[in-house]
A and B are shown apart, each in its own frame.
Chain A
C-alpha cells in the first residue's frame, strides 16, 4: 500500500482528518458528532499515517505516548466532573459559563470538557493498540 500516491496524499489526508475530528468533537453537542466519534476519526488518521510512513514517524508526530494521552483524557474527564465541587453540586453536574471573546459569546461547559476527555481516551487507547500491533510486524 506504500505507493507514491498514497505516501504523497497521506500527510494531507491525516491532517485533514485530525482537523475534522476536532470539528466533529466540538459540534457534537448540537449536531451529529462528539468525543467518541472524534477520537475514532483521529485514531484512523494516525493509522493511515502509520501505514504510509511507519510507526516511528507517528510516534514522533504525537510527541507523547498514546497511552499518556489516554490517561490525560481520563484525568480531564475526572476534573470536569469534580469542578462541580466548587459550586456545591453533585459530581458531574453540568456547569455552563458564557464568556464573550471579541464580542462573540462562547459557551463553555463542563460537559464539553468531559467530551474532550472522552476524545483523548478513545484516541489514545486505539492509537496505542494500532501502533503496538504495527510495530511488531517490522522487528
Chain B
C-alpha cells in the first residue's frame, strides 16, 4: 500500500491537466482527494508509531550496489508526511480558488502534486540514494513552480536562482551521504540510526558533517544561502504557502533532525548549528521588519523560523529538541495559514502592500479571523500550539551557562520580532480606517477560505487537546529526533517558572516593537542601503563571472579554425604516447627484417607509393584519392593473412571515406592547391610524422606483449555451440557483445544526425555573412566530375 501511496501524487499529477480542462477550477475537489487519501492512509500508522513501532518496507532497486527502494515510517517521517499530505489537501483546494480561470491551472495542479509526491518521498525515504533523488526532485518541482509565471523575467531569475542554490546543496548532500555510507557501511536511515557512535568517532566525520550541512542549509535557507527564499515569492501564493513555508524549506531541518541521533552531541554539531541558526533567526526577522509586502514579510520570518529550528536542533538539550518539534508543527500550521491569508488579501483587494491596506475586517471576516488565530499562534500566545512551542523552547534553552544565555537572548529577540511581524500581517490590513484598494474587497469563495480556516482551527485544537497531540504526533517525533523515547507534557496552562517569565518578556518586547514598527522599518532600510551588497547581488555577480569565464575559455580553445583543432589533437596524441614511453624507456625492440613473399613486397611497395602520391599530389583531390591506395593495399594484406571479414570491411570503409572526404573537401570551399608557407609545411610535417610514428611504436609495443588466447579459445569453442554461428566476428558483434554493438550503432546514428545538422547550419550562416560566389567549390566539383 505504502508503495502505491508513494506514487499516487504523481499519478494524480498526470491526470490533473485533463481533469482541469473538463471541470475547470472544480477539479480541485477531485484532485484534493489524492492527498486526502494519503493523509488517511498514513494516519493509520499513528497508533503503531505512538507505541514506539517503526514501519519499514521496500524493494531491491540496484541489488549489486545494495541500493534499495525502501521507506521508513517513524515518528519524524510520520508527522512530516501528515503535514505534507494534510496541508497539501488544503493547498490543492486553495489553488482551485486562487488560480480560478487561469489559463494554465491544470499545469499548476500537476506541478504541485508532483512536488507533493517528491516531498512525501523525501521524508519517507529510508535509502540514502532514494532520499537524494527525491531531494533533487523537490528542487526541480520547486523550480517549475517558482517559474510558473514564466513570461516574467523576475520569475525566471528567481526560479533559476532557487534551482542553482538548492541543486548545488543537493550535490553536497549526495557527497555527504556517500561519505556516511562509506564510514558506516549502511545505506539506509533505519540501519544508520542503530550504528551508535560509529559516525561520530570517524576521522571523516567533519567532512560528512560539512557536506550534509551544505545540503540542509541551502534547502532550509540558512544565512548566507537564504537569498533564494524571498525571491521565490515570485511564485503564486499557494506555492509560497506550501513549499516555501510549510514543507520544502523544512527538508533541511528534517535532515538535521533525522541525523541528530548519529551526528548530534558533537562539538561541531552543537557549535555550528546554533551559530548559523541564531544568525539566520536574527537576520531574518530584521529583514522581515524592513518589508512592506505581506508575502515578503512572511518569507523573511520563515527564514527566521528555520533559523530558530536549526538553532534548537543543534542546541543539544532534550527540551530544546522537543521545542523544535513543537515549533516545526506549529510553524507549518500558522505560516501556511498566514500565506493563504496574504494570498486572499492580494486576490480580493488587489495589493499586498501593507501600507496600502486597512480596514478589511468587515469585508473579509473569515480571513481576518484565520489571520488573527495564526498570528496568535505565531506570537506564542495561548491557547494555540505556538504557545506550547515557545514555552518548551524557553524551558529547553534557559540554563545558567554563558552559551545558553546568549542563545536564549537570541531566541527572545527573534521571537519578539516574529511576534511583531505576525501581528503586522494579521492586523494592519484588517484594522484601522478603511483604505481604498485597487479592487473592491469582499470575502473569497469557500475554496479560498477552507485552507486558512482549517489550519487556524488545527492550531487551536492541537493546543487544547495537547495530551492527545503529544501522544500521537509531537511525542513520537521528538523520540525519533533524539533517538530515545521522549515524553512531552506541556499544556496551555502556563507554569509560573522561568520559561513563563521569558514568554512575558517576549510579549512585552513584541508589543513595544509593534508600536514602533515604522521606525524600525526605516532604520533597517537605512542600514541595508548603507551595506549595499548582499548575497542576492553576489549570486548575480557569480553567475555573470562564470559566464564570462566560460566565454573566455571557449574563445581560446574553440577558436573555429580547423587547423588549430587538428594540430592540438595530434600534438596531444603524440605527446600522450611518446612521453610515457620515453619516461619508462618502454620502446619496442628493434624489428627483424621481415621475410615476405615477392607479391607481399609488391603490396608494401604499392602502399608506400600511395603515401608518396599523397605528399606529392598537386591538388587536394588527387591527394585524397591517393590516400585510398594505401588503404586498399592494407585491405589486401588482411585478405592474405586470413582475415576476410576485416579485409572486406577495410575495402568498404576505405572507399566510402575517400568519397565522403572528397565531398567534404569540396564543401569546405578550399582552394584546390596548397598555399602553406615552407615553414608551416615543415612544422605540419613534423607533427604528422611524430603522431604517425608514435602510433606505429605503440602498435609494435602492444604486439610484443604476450598474447592471451583464452578469449579466442572461448569464442572458438562456444560461437557455434551457444550462438549457432560459425563466423566468430559476427557472432561476437551481434550476440556475445550485443550491448556494445547496440551502443555503437546508437553512436553511429547520433553522429549521423550531428553531421547532418552541421552541414545544414554552417552554409546558411556563411551565405548570409558573405555574398562571395562559391567559385573554388565549383572548380573542385568540376575537377572531380
Contacts and interface: CB of A to CB of B under 8 A. Distances in A.
A36 B781 contact: no
A14 interface: no
Interface stretch (B188-196, B198-206, B458-466, B736-744): B736-744
Contacts of B760: 132
Q: Which among B666, B723, B734, B752 has the greatest number of chain A C-beta atoms within 10 A?
A: B734
Contacts, number: 148
Given A31-B726, A94-B723, A37 B656 contact: no
Nearest to A107: B724
Interface string A113-139: 011011001101110111011101100
A74 B734 contact: no
Interface in A85-120: 91-92, 94, 96, 107, 109, 111-112, 114-115, 117-118
B752 A70 contact: yes
- Is chain B's binding surface mostly helix, strand, loop or mixed? helix
Given A34-B727, A34-B730, A67 B738 contact: no
Interface residues of A, number: 51
Q: Which among B648, B664, B784 has the greatest number of chain A C-beta atoms within 10 A?
A: B648
Contact of A2 (B644, B655, B659, B785): B785
Contacts of B723: 94, 111
A34 B733 contact: yes
Contacts of B667: 133, 136-137
B738 A111 contact: yes
B745 interface: yes
Given A40-B656, A121-B749, A29 B649 contact: no
Contacts of B406: none
Interface residues of B, number: 45
Contact of A41 (B652, B660, B727, B781): B652
A35 B734 contact: yes
B591 interface: no
Given A30-B725, A44-B656, A121-B745, A129 B734 contact: no
A117 B742 CA distance: 9
A125 B748 contact: yes
B70 to A, nearest CB: 24
A36 B749 contact: no
A87 B724 CA distance: 19
Nearest to A121: B745
Contacts of A111: 723, 725, 731, 734-735, 738
B118 to A, nearest CB: 29
B636 to A, nearest CB: 15
B746 A34 contact: no
A124 B749 contact: yes
Interface of A: 1-2, 28-37, 40-41, 43-44, 47, 51, 67, 70-71, 73-74, 77-78, 81, 91-92, 94, 96, 107, 109, 111-112, 114-115, 117-118, 121-122, 124-126, 128-130, 132-134, 136-137
